[in-house]
């Protein structure tokens, strides 16, 4: 358990579930880098402190830590190929984790919970750009229906806790996240960390880079450190129960091919790259609108994509031995 060294005796005790993951570690980094306040005590937990699929362990964690605020990140997470294989596990584990965390938060009188949805849970057949009002407007893409429906139920529960008990439980909706401490597994992870790992190996072994799919799908990527700053803002300032999309603008959407080119350039890979079109592309696009975010924070500056990619590639190379892969 990483325990922020702020006392917070009279102040806030902020519990971050999923604290050892990509997003949790980014929030921890920003808190220790100066975003934390003296009256806040930040507590980052992983599955080692409690298996949140287990109601008794979740309750015991809340009994012990007595949080006043919760950022709920813990989830079974994976890329396209892991989702396609394990839809049932994604559904069951995530529904259990979310129900245990939200109900423990309610029973312990937590003032505010910020949970995490994802733009990949939106309806497959939709108009673009997608916005916060469209989450439940139709079935999700078939590749990840287990994860998607489980995540959508967080929004249902948030509204129900508010209606029945007046709780301020809300959720953010990030686009694809990447950054240091990601899961760089090439089969089970998300597209960018998988590609970073592949480019690293292709460069080391002098082999061609093989990109799964056609390279044409388009995505909005958010750097984990930018997302972390936005999470802290949501915890402190955003008081709606309705969720909010946290994303770069529609104009910043890139194709998988363009993203791969950015990585190739950041890692100075000089070899050939080919597309394995026998592999699935997943959803072609899921362009999200960040206009709600922009209404609240018109001046928020996102890290330029190429700079964020370079920082992530440098982190991966420097931490190759210990990185999740
Ligand atoms: N990555 C993305 O592109 C993306 C995009 C949109 C939304 N999100 C959402 O953002 C949140 C964080 O994602 P991430 O990418 O940071 O995930 P991650 O790196 O895979 O980390 C997952 C975290 O959840 C914890 N966890 C998993 N199962 C658990 C269990 N049974 N009990 C307790 N803790 C458990 C893990 O703990 P251990 O380290 O102990 O296993 C880890 O801290 C998730 O809710 C995810 O759905 C992610």
68 CA from centroid of ligand 1 (Å): 21
Least confident interval from 111-115, 171-175, 184-188: 184-188
Give the range among 2-16, 136-150, 266-280, 296-310 with minimum mean pLDDT: 2-16
Q: What percent of the chain has pLDDT over 70?
A: 97
Q: Is residue 235 part of a domain?
A: yes
| Sign of the alpha-carbon torsion through 85, 90, 91, 92 | positive
Average pLDDT over residues 91-118: 98
Look up residue 18 and give its two tokens: 């999923």
Residue 26, classified by CB atoms within 10 Å of its CB into exposed (0-12), middle (13-18) or buried (19+), is: buried
> Token pair of 183, please?
């899961």
Residues 6 or more apart from 20 whose CB is under 8 A from it? 44, 46, 47, 48
CB neighbour list of residue 109: distance below 8 Å, 6 or more residues apart: none
According to DSSP H, which parts of 166-244 are helical? Answer: 191-205, 224-237
- Under the banding of pLDDT at 50, 70 and 90, the label for residue 2 is low
Residues 176, 9: Cα–Cα separation, whole Å? 36
* Bigger pLDDT: 281 vs 175: 175
Say if 34 falls within a structural domain: yes
pLDDT at position 189: 78
Whether 39 shows a pLDDT value over 80: the answer reads yes
Whether residue 150 is contained in a domain is answered as: yes
Average pLDDT over residues 101-116: 98
What are the residues whose beta carbons fall under 8 Å from the beta carbon of 223, sequence distance 6 or more?
177, 178, 179, 302, 303, 305, 308, 311, 312
- Which residue's alpha carbon is at the smallest distance from atom 26 of ligand 1? 74
In a domain, 36, yes or no: yes
Domain count, the chain: 1
Does residue 215 sit within a domain?
A: no
What pLDDT was estimated at residue 70? 98
- Cis peptide leading into 183, omega within 30 of 0? no
Identify whether the C-beta of residue 218 lies closer than 8 Å to the C-beta of residue 191. no
- Residue range 279-291, pLDDT digits in tens: 888 888 889 999 9
Domain that holds residue 130: 12-180+220-250+286-303
Is residue 313 domain-resident?
Answer: no
CATH of the domain at 53: 3.40.50.720
pLDDT at residue 9 greater than cutoff 80: no
Ligand 1 pocket by Cβ (under 6 Å): 18-24, 46-48, 51-53, 73-77, 97, 116, 118, 174, 176-177, 183, 190
Helix (H, G, I), strand (E, B) or coil at 171: strand
The two tokens of residue 204 are 């080391």
Query: What is the structure's pLDDT at 5?
Result: 42
The CA 137 to ligand 1 mean position distance, Å, reads 26
Of 189, 220, 185, nearest in space to 305 by CA: 220
Percent of the chain with pLDDT over 90: 87
């Amino acid at each position: 358990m990483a325990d922020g060294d702020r006392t917070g005796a009279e102040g806030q005790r902020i519990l971050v579930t999923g604290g050892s993951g990509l997003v949790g570690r980014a929030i921890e980094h920003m808190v220790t880098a100066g975003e934390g306040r003296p009256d806040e005590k930040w507590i980052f937990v992983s599955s080692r402190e409690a298996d949140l699929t287990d109601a008794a362990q979740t309750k015991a964690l809340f009994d012990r830590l007595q949080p006043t605020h919760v950022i709920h990140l813990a989830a079974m997470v994976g890329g396209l190929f892991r989702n396609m294989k394990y839809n049932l596990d994604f559904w069951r584990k995530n529904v259990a984790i979310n129900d245990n965390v939200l109900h423990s938060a309610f029973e312990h009188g937590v003032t505010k919970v910020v949970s995490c949805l994802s733009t990949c849970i939106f309806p497959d057949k939709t108009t673009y750009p997608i916005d916060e009002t469209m989450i439940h407007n139709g079935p999700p893409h078939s590749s990840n229906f287990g994860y998607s429906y489980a995540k959508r139920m967080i929004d249902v529960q948030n509204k129900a806790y508010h209606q029945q008990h007046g709780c301020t439980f809300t959720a953010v909706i990030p686009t694809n996240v990447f950054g240091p401490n990601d899961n760089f597994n090439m089969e089970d992870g998300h597209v960018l960390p998988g590609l970073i790992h592949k480019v690293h190996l292709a460069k080391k072994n002098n082999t061609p880079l093989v990109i799964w799919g056609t390279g044409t799908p388009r995505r909005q990527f958010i750097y984990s450190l930018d997302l972390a700053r936005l999470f802290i803002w949501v915890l402190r300032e955003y008081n709606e129960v309705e969720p909010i999309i946290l994303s770069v603008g529609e104009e910043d959407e890139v194709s998988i091919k363009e993203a791969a080119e950015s990585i190739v350039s950041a890692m100075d890979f000089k070899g050939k790259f080919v597309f394995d079109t026998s592999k699935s592309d997943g959803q072609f696009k899921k362009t999200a609108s960040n206009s709600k975010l922009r209404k609240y924070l018109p001046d928020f500056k996102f890290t330029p994509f190429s700079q964020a990619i370079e920082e992530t590639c440098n982190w991966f190379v420097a931490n190759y031995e210990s990185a999740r892969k």
